[in-house]
Amino acid sequence: PQFPTPGVEQTPANWFKVLENYKDRINEDTVFIGHSLGGAFLLRVLERFKIYSAYLISAPAGVKPILNWEGDQPFIENSFQWEKIRKNAKNIEVFHSDDDPYICLGNGKLIAEKLGVNLNFKSGQGHFNATAGYTSFPELRDLIIKQNP
């Protein structure tokens, strides 16, 4: 899906409107990967839908500093339903780095702690984007293959 970004169109309500077009494909066999703000949105998706696996990479959850604090607020300003999120996915993995220039490591730690899952801590990997050298993510690919028959 192509979600509207940035500005006033970038809201959870507008992103859920886009996701509505794919609702018939979301079920207990679905695998989602959420990077950055997409990870925060994936947490919101997990408050509503049951899926098989969720992979959260450099996701904001409200721990400062977050470089785009104002733009992220509509996605993170209300408390997450952590227990419901945990129950709505068989597998959840969290990836975060200690030198992410956009979203501090405290966010990854918080998400992993609240969901009772492993934090895949990767030192010196930035925001797991092309700027940080990520044009592919073999470790994530291998984990997805291993966890999703």
Q: What is the DSSP letter of 91?
A: E
* Bridge partners for 119 per DSSP: 94
Evaluate if residue 149 carries a pLDDT over 90: no
Q: What values do phi and psi take at 35, rounded to 5?
A: -110, 135
User: What is the average pLDDT across 77-106?
Assistant: 98
Evaluate if residue 125 carries a pLDDT over 90: yes
Evaluate if residue 8 carries a pLDDT over 90: no
Evaluate if residue 7 carries a pLDDT over 80: no
The count of residues in the chain is 149
* Bridge partners for 91 per DSSP: 53
C-alpha angle 138-140-143 in degrees, rounded to nearest 5: 110
**In the numeric block, which tokens belong to residue 7?**
């500005």
Distance CA 34, CA 56 (A): 5
